[in-house]
Structure 1
Amino acid sequence: MAERQSGKSHSILVIEDDDHIAQILKFMLQRQGFLVTVAADGAVARSHIQASPPPELVLLDVMLPHVDGFELVRVIRAQAGWENTPVIMLTAKNQEPDIVRALDAGANDYMLKPFQPNELLARIRRYLRTVP
């Protein structure tokens, strides 16, 4: 399912500080054939973004230690090669100002925790269909 035309699997960066949620996401995505990298806090994620080639999609929590998700969206959009990487915010912050702030910062989508796995996978597939 996550196979690309070339036979290479899609890569996803998961930025999530809750180890339990990060492991669930990693397991769920790997079962679908995705290559998954996990960053456990905002500082690690920022270093990864600045030093690595972009994944095909980023799942990003808002409330993170050191650097929050709003700032990380700005880092992603400013990083050469990462500008068009789809970013799905996955967070418990359910207030309209937070949603607007995330979308205005450059997030492509916003999902609330607790999330429904099949809905999340459908959104991921939607964005990956547009990846060349």
Structure 2
Amino acid sequence: MHDNDIYTLTPRGQEELRGGATTLNPAEMELLIRVDGSQNLSQLRTGMTTDAPGMFTAAFMQLRDKGLVTLAEVDPFTEQFTARMTDFAVTQAESEADSGAASLKKAGYYVRIARPRGPARPRQPGETLSAIVVDDEPMLAKFIQSYLSFEGFHVRLASNRAEVVAEFRKQPAPDLILLDVMLPDADGFDILLRLRQHPALKDVPVIMLTGKATREAVLKGLAGGADGYVTKPFEADALMLVVRTVLGLPPEPKGPELSLL
């Protein structure tokens, strides 16, 4: 393990980001998202949001031991260029820590992550789970509503700030919120932050949905308290796997053959 070493994801690592469920801790997940086959370990360490002693090394060792990352094959020119840039990158201020990570901001990143919240909450006989779908695409919102309803959820929809506020005011609190990142008059990350600060809604599981993901956006969502992150387009069964993982629900037989692909 050397500072100049460059690592990339293995097929198993890619599946960890797209399989719909993960058991990685936050530091391991952040590092796995950041690994792009172009940054060396020194640059990755500088960009990490946590600076706890040994945290980066422990996270990296776990990813490597689990076969999620592997040493990348780098051509001599790239290796020499990266080595010359290392000292410069390490000494940058925190605001510039990711200056060499252009891929963090590159659109088109595909991910499907869900972190288990633990066992599902106890329910009374006949009680159904409730969900709020926040999305300004009517067809997509209806699609998600239909599928969740088929799975036994009571679903409410919101497409703008006013509707979001109105739905969040209703009691009881939902069991799940599916939250689009981009709304016409609101920012999904801002809504997530406000949810996590709200005394009645702070513990509601939130799954972020987006059609233009970047590594930077995924990291922002997970750091803000999202329990899952799904990029569009997605298959209905894949979304339900994320939902069930987050809520701690047992797997069920596949539903109707619906897809957004």
Could you state the TM-score of these two structures normalised by the residue count of structure 1? Answer: 0.88
* Alpha-carbon RMSD: 1.6
Distance 2:143 2:170 in 1: 26
**Percentage of matched positions with identical amino acids:** 35
Counterpart residue identity of residue 184, structure 2: P
CA deviations over 1:51-97 (Å, ceiling 9, x no partner): 54320000000010111100110111111121111100011121111
2:177 to 58, 61, 64: 58
Instruction: State the aligned residue count.
Output: 127
Aligned 8 A contact 2:228 2:246 in 1: no
Per the alignment, in what secondary structure is the counterpart of residue 81 of structure 1? coil
Distance 2:228 2:178 in 1: 10
Q: Which portions of structure 1, spanning 4 or more consecutive aligned residues, are displaced by more than 4 angstroms?
A: none
Per the alignment, in what secondary structure is the counterpart of residue 44 of structure 1? helix
Q: Which residue of 2 aligns with 1:128?
A: 247
Distance 1:109 1:41 in 2: 21
Per the alignment, in what secondary structure is the counterpart of residue 97 of structure 1? helix
Counterpart residue identity of residue 27, structure 1: S
Structure 2: unaligned runs, 5 residues or longer: 1-122, 250-261
Q: Which residue of 2 aligns with 1:77?
A: 196
Counterpart residue identity of residue 148, structure 2: L
Could you state the TM-score of these two structures normalised by the residue count of structure 2? Answer: 0.46
- Between Structure 1 and Structure 2, which shows a larger proportion of strand residues? 1
Distance 2:224 2:162 in 1: 18
Q: Which residue of 2 aligns with 1:111?
A: 230
Per the alignment, in what secondary structure is the counterpart of residue 72 of structure 1? helix
Greater Rg by CA:
2
Q: Which residue of 1 aligns with 2:154?
A: 35
Aligned 8 A contact 1:60 1:69 in 2: yes
Structure 1: unaligned runs, 5 residues or longer: none
Per the alignment, in what secondary structure is the counterpart of residue 125 of structure 1? helix
